A = this chain, B = another copy of it.
Amino acid sequence: MRYDKAHKDITRQRIIEVASQRFRRDGIAAAGLAGVMADAGLTHGGFYAHFDSKEALVRETLTEAFGRTNQEFAQRAEEHEGGLEAVIRHYLSPSHRGRSDKGCAAAVLAPEIARHPNATRRVFNAQLDPLIGLIEAHLPEGPEDARRSAAIGIFSVMMGALQLARAQPDPLLSDRILESGIAAALILVHHAPKVVLDHNP
């Protein structure tokens, strides 16, 4: 063989990394493969030596982006005492609001992923699951169903508030949305794990 075995894998990984940023910055539909390849320092023709299709790349980028987010979440939750609050405050911070390309993929891509093929939607949910699980793990005591449900509710506020903050061009109003999101998430952390759902799954 010509190049050493790792060479192509490294390139492939580089494409996935830059793509995961471009997709989060511009949206998947609005991001072109030529731009992604240029970001990786390559020309567009080589793309199909690494991936079957743009959709296949999308699935890889979801795994990559969530992998990083989940790891960062876990680390932050461990380092601080009352770790979940630290995670929530960072998620709804001006710096996360300002860097969607390095931030939570769900907050940028959820509505778009809902329109993608089932295979892609399954990858999205498979990656989202541990993130919700991580929230759940840091919740106060309560029935298992209630805690899982609470974690879903908490992540929903986080994601929703981040999106609204990003859509709001007035910095003061945007800050206020972040603060409201934090307040709501913290209320849910304390109250939601005790509340049992009306009907069971």
List B contacts of A49 (CB < 8 A).
none
Q: How far does the Cβ of A181 sit from chain B's closest Cβ, in whole Å? A: 6
State whether the Cβ of A175 lies closer than 8 Å to any Cβ in chain B: yes
**Does B179 contact A197, Cβ atoms closer than 8 Å?**
yes
Known: A111-B107, A152-B181, A153-B181. A121 touches B188 (CB 8 A): no
Q: Chain B residue with minimal CB distance to A166? A: B114
**Does A153 contact B159, Cβ atoms closer than 8 Å?**
no
A interface: dominant SS: helix
Chain A, residues 161-201, CB within 8 Å of chain B (1/0): the string is: 10110111110110111011101110110011001011101
State whether the Cβ of A156 lies closer than 8 Å to any Cβ in chain B: yes
**Does B180 contact A152, Cβ atoms closer than 8 Å?**
yes
State whether the Cβ of A122 lies closer than 8 Å to any Cβ in chain B: yes
> Which of the listed residues A108, A114, A170, A181 has the most CB atoms from chain B within 10 Å of its own CB?
A114
State whether the Cβ of A73 lies closer than 8 Å to any Cβ in chain B: no
Binding site for B on A (CB under 8 A): 26-27, 29-30, 100, 106-115, 118, 121-122, 124-125, 128, 148-150, 152-161, 163-164, 166-170, 172-173, 175-177, 179-181, 183-185, 187-188, 191-192, 195, 197-199, 201
